[in-house]
Amino acid sequence: MRLADRPTPSSLIALLVAAAFFMENLDATVINTALPAMAATFAVQPVDLNIGITAYLLTLTLLIPASGWLADRLGCRRVFMASIVVFTLASLLCAMSQNLWQFASACVLQGVGGAMMVPVGRLAVLRNTPKQNLMQAIAMITWPGLVAPVLGPALGGFITTYASWHWIFLLNLPLGVLAFALAWWLIPPSADGMASSRFDWTGFLLCGTACLLLMSGLEQVGGTGQLMLAMLCLFCVGVLLAGLWRHCRRSHAPLLDVSILRIRTYRTTIVGGSLLRAAINTTPFLLSLMFQLGMGMDAFRSGLLLLTLFAGNLGMKVLTSRTLRRFGFRLTLLLSGLALVVLTLLIATFGPDTPWPWLVLVLLLSGMARSMTFTTLSTLAFVDVPPAQMSHANTLFNMLLRMAYGMGIAIAAVGLRMAEAWLPQASALTHYHFAFVVLAGLTLLALWDVWQLPGNAGQLLSRQPE
């Protein structure tokens, strides 16, 4: 039997893509605790290594818009396998780097692989999974985005302490070889070469520049605090997006098909969903800072508490599909979102004297609510998207998925600065409490968009039999 003719094992494809996602997501978070050791090797200051991290993120942001066209032109299988090769080789070059500029160059190459691997992998799952199995498949490929930010810092510290920082990247080599072999075996090549249109360079330049300026503006807000420069960047983003919208509406073969925003369920996951993901992705980052800088914990105890979020994420996975079928997408999102609001406000009451059992319980429930909300959003996004528009929908979804984290960090930073300005005599812990209240407000604001969904939203999947 030929490879293209045999049945596609969609669940195995989802598992493969989830593993690739985990490798990429973990790589982006595990490095943070290794920065001092890497800086010593390169004979630079730890802050100087931000150039490598920034180069990776900017390359990722710039190239994601092209991923959908490449997948249509060359096929998901070819692009996904090529991205694994590029990402794995770049990991080897990162480990072999002798100075800062070699490392930064390797990070750019790694960003090229990551920009293709994640969105094209998701597209492979969407194209090869029957509708009745889509809920379970998307639940499987969303857990890396929830788990990696929690496990990454602890794993990075362990590897750096008991081996060396080089192994953070070298561990990707056997994983990459295995992922390449499985991709060749599992993903069918039957849909290769679907696109015949020329590449939309105008749309790519407008979209890529807007994404770069948006990330730069968010970095100014969340990092340096240069608000005037941030406002200038965001103003330019608005102008570029207006030009991109006009171009995509008029072009016969645009890079992004903006007509998909007419689909109500998809639009909700883009607008309100981006705000929800911003709040969800920022929580582990802000918790780690509050535990250590606000409550005086060491890194080990802080890491142990963050693992409770991970336990909640995993614990909820077995109930996600059943809950969605029982209550539907709209009610599930509203209930899990309201639970996030309440639990985030409870986190804003944590202090040095808070009993550990209460800390663990709140964080466990928060992890469960995060998992349910994240998975529901990711599934709802593609429920009503027709196959012909799946590539465009997936590209835009992945772009905003990447930016949600930066947006959340920026909003949390603004919350901290507001607290410092309005409550200058208050403790650092109070400032973090205020930032969590801001995140709770952001979550509540996002739920307004969810509230406007029809009650039968996503019923094609939520009414599928188990």
Out of 100-114, 255-269, 402-416, least confident range:
402-416
Lowest mean pLDDT across 89-103, 145-159, 355-369, 427-441: 145-159
Note the pLDDT of residue 5. 43
**pLDDT for 94:** 92
**Per-residue pLDDT for 38 more than 60?**
yes
Cα radius of gyration rounded to whole Å, the chain = 22
Residue 192 has pLDDT above 70, yes or no: no
Can you give the pLDDT at residue 195? 53
Q: What is the pLDDT of residue 376?
A: 87
What is the pLDDT at residue 458?
64
State pTM to two decimals: 0.78
Q: Does residue 225 carry a pLDDT above 70?
A: no
Res 464: pLDDT:
53
- pLDDT band at 317; cut points 50, 70, 90: confident
